[in-house]
Amino acid sequence: MAVRQSADIIAELKGKYCKSLNHYKRFTTREVTIGDIPMGAHHPIRIQSMTTTDTMNTIATVEQTIRMVESGCDYVRITAPSMNEANNLQAIKDELRKRGYNVPLVADIHFTPNAAEAAARIVEKVRVNPGNYVDKKKFEQIEYTTYEYEAELERIRKKFEPLVKICKEYGTAMRIGTNHGSLSDRIMSWYGDTPLGMVESAMEFIRMCESMNYYNLVVSMKSSNAQVMVQAYRMLVEAMQLEGMNYPLHLGVTEAGDGEDGRIKSAVGIGTLLEDGLGDTIRVSLTEDPEFEAPVAKALADRYINRKSDYKEDEKYYIPSLHNPYEHNRRKTNDLQLLGDHHVPVVVADLSNIQLNEPLQLSQIGYAYSALLDKYNLTDLAADIAYVGDQIPQYNFPGNLKLLINYKTWLNNQSLENTIPYVQYAELADAKIDANNFVFININTDDASKIDYQLINKFSKAVIILETNKDHAMANIRAFFFELLDANITLPVIIKRHYKNLSLDQLQLYAATDFGALLVDGFGDGIWMSADKEISLRVINSISFGILQASRTRISKTEYISCPSCGRTLFDLQETTQMIRSRTDHLKGIKIGIMGCIVNGPGEMADADYGYVGTGPGKITLYRGKEVVRKNVNTENAVDELIELIREDGNWIEKELIEN
Ligand code: SF4
């Protein structure tokens, strides 16, 4: 097939990338054979991760692989950057089999065809990155003519064909794994640094495989930016369908980081696609030991095991003309000074279950109180609205924290400043509220069809608080947003969810999925999350801001794009990430990439503002964006040099100035 320009491809895309946007139905892909554990089709969502040991250290790699299998991995990936490592996969495999572990192994290949060809004869699957397998990336913007582009593609085909032949002969599967940060110069010159570029990058390789009648393929579209990652996977599915393909999807967010941030970011990206019914295998990339990744991936996947499908086979696929699932466009809403329109999504803190009797309580939602000065200090995680139910607080609240009070209680306390009445929709018709007053109106999606928007529109500052009782909540709420779009109703909407009987880990992952998926789709002017009493307000508040940050709709903290580490890593990533975090976590909005090696790090840290990249034992290279600014700095000085660089750019703030 001749290569095509972006506009031609985009014109063909209609936004049809899953079975239904309103009902749960897993998208059926073709079955792919990977050792004894097939993937795709009706098989469960498979879990996998990647070793961090030196591949030449057979015993360490075998023992880590076993720990990963015990923690839930169905497949284990091992890096094979050169022939030595590729050949050593045989020793690793033999030792694993000797110890009774038949786990399918995946060789991670980047640049070297000979390593890929050796590995494909040994392991059950190879992963190639079309951005750097034979193709090149030098961060140069080169203009390719059609002739040059096709000639380059032909050159790649010749180098790629031997690998495909070996995979066919040995029954080895292949993942075509595109990374947002490592698109080739050729792809960038025609399609840009875009989800479409990612999709085409993979499609070119898939077409080459199909032309050789090789179909044992899995595809991934990873990025450290959850929005980009979601758009690319969705677009890939439609692009594949247009060419009669249905390869299984390997889902992942690259360089997600560690701890709460890493889990939330992974869930926003992976969870959004799982809600759409997409995804056949998951790898969560955390800057933690790999055995901690599988339980997170498993928790994400397990949520769908018993999810009932209310999808009907004759259901027509519906997507509003105003909604584009391949771009982030926030739904247009009224500007209410506090929220809606261009304002960042607000966070509502639910204080209705605690007795409001002392100002220190508000430190949990971002208002640090000084008794000495009788003053609140706002942190970057200061909630915008506090729901207090029927309580009237026994102390003064900060001026910029609005109080949301149940309507009847509000009615009896109208002299209180800075309050908003919270009305159930059924109360609205008789409510005694001035038309210019802020009013938050609770609507359950079950009642959506009964809503009289003329009644709501009588209030110039009305905001919908949207809840649902449905299991497939994200899609149910999205369907409500579609109705608002179609009816041109521009009332701001705050999404409300209460979670019961969840562990902290589950809460992080499920809330990030439910809220994050809607925010990524451009829906929601705020979030209101609550949970059982055992989970503190501080935790809920932190998760709320984390979800907004991960969906890139409200930036309130420093972002760390740290690689999960692998056999190539040149320093202790966990320790270094913690050290950098401890000194820079007050730099709101700055993105810092922390990458274990120079081979893939610069490409994979994508849109980081600064990069800290391992170049050799004890040596670090520092980047400003994609530009090298300090080469081979000794590790002992590297964090100081990074801070100096941030300072030179005028982006440094002394921590003490913020804390005092
Ligand atoms: S950036 Fe380098 S060290 Fe980090 S995971 Fe990727 S290949 Fe491994």
Give the model confidence (pLDDT) of 530-573 as tens digits.
999 899 999 999 999 999 999 999 998 898 988 888 877 888 88
Decide: 184 and 193 in contact? Cβ < 8 Å. no
* 151-177 average pLDDT score: 96
pLDDT: which is higher, 186 or 463: 463
- Indicate which residue's Cα is closest to atom 1 of ligand 1: 601
For residue 148, give both structure tokens.
Answer: 């040059």
pLDDT: which is higher, 606 or 137: 606
pLDDT over 70 at 140, yes or no: no
CA distances 104 to 30, 49, 125, 279, Å, are: 19, 12, 8, 19
The band of 309, judged by pLDDT with boundaries at 50, 70 and 90, is: confident
Q: At what angle do helices 226-242 and 195-211 cross, to 10 degrees?
A: 40
Query: Which one, of 13, 19, 15, lies nearest residue 475 by Cα?
Result: 19
How many angstroms separate the CA atoms of 229 and 523, rounded?
18
In this prediction, residue 2 carries a pLDDT of 64
Say which range, 58-67, 379-388, 570-579, has the weakest mean pLDDT.
570-579
Measured in angstroms, how far is the CA atom of residue 570 from the centroid of ligand 1? 9
- Please work out whether the CB of residue 600 comes within 6 Å of at least one atom of ligand 1: yes
Say which range, 52-61, 118-127, 346-355, 556-565, has the weakest mean pLDDT.
556-565
For residue 328, give both structure tokens.
Answer: 């982030």
Q: Mutate which of 286, 565, 576 to test ligand 1's pocket (most atoms within 8 Å of Cβ)?
A: 565
Measured in angstroms, how far is the CA atom of residue 565 from the centroid of ligand 1? 5
In this prediction, residue 456 carries a pLDDT of 93
Of all helices (H) and strands (E), which one includes residue 160?
helix 146-170
In this prediction, residue 654 carries a pLDDT of 83
How many angstroms separate the CA atoms of 393 and 116, rounded?
66
In this prediction, residue 188 carries a pLDDT of 86
- Please work out whether the CB of residue 182 comes within 6 Å of at least one atom of ligand 1: no
pLDDT over 70 at 419, yes or no: yes
* 4-16 average pLDDT score: 86
- Please work out whether the CB of residue 563 comes within 6 Å of at least one atom of ligand 1: yes
How many C-beta neighbours within 10 Å does residue 67 have? 15
How many C-beta neighbours within 10 Å does residue 34 have? 27
In this prediction, residue 10 carries a pLDDT of 85
For residue 428, give both structure tokens.
Answer: 């609205």
User: Measured from the CA of 567, which atom of ligand 1 is nearest?
Assistant: 8
Query: The whole model's pTM is what?
Result: 0.92
- Indicate which residue's Cα is closest to atom 7 of ligand 1: 600
Place of tokens 């990533």: 573
The band of 136, judged by pLDDT with boundaries at 50, 70 and 90, is: low
- Please work out whether the CB of residue 596 comes within 6 Å of at least one atom of ligand 1: yes
Measured in angstroms, how far is the CA atom of residue 612 from the centroid of ligand 1? 12
Decide: 413 and 428 in contact? Cβ < 8 Å. no
User: Measured from the CA of 570, which atom of ligand 1 is nearest?
Assistant: 3
In this prediction, residue 139 carries a pLDDT of 54
CA atoms within 13 A on the CB side of 278: 32
- Indicate which residue's Cα is closest to atom 2 of ligand 1: 597
Measured in angstroms, how far is the CA atom of residue 641 from the centroid of ligand 1? 22
* 479-484 average pLDDT score: 95
* 39-63 average pLDDT score: 97
- Indicate which residue's Cα is closest to atom 5 of ligand 1: 565
Q: How far is residue 503 CA from its own chain's centroid?
A: 21
Long-range Cβ contact pairs of 169-173 (< 8 A, separation 24 or more): 170/120, 170/121, 171/33, 171/216, 172/120, 172/121, 172/123, 172/124, 172/125, 172/126, 172/216, 173/32, 173/33, 173/34, 173/124, 173/125, 173/126, 173/216, 173/217, 173/218
Counting residues of the chain whose pLDDT is more than 90, the rounded percentage is 76
In this prediction, residue 449 carries a pLDDT of 85
- Please work out whether the CB of residue 26 comes within 6 Å of at least one atom of ligand 1: no
Mean pLDDT (the chain) is 92
Give the model confidence (pLDDT) of 183-226 as tens digits.
888 898 888 889 999 999 999 999 999 999 999 999 999 998 99
Strand 367-370, strand 619-624: pairing: unpaired
Measured in angstroms, how far is the CA atom of residue 542 from the centroid of ligand 1? 29
Strand 627-634, strand 250-251: pairing: unpaired
Q: Mutate which of 597, 615, 620, 621 to test ligand 1's pocket (most atoms within 8 Å of Cβ)?
A: 597
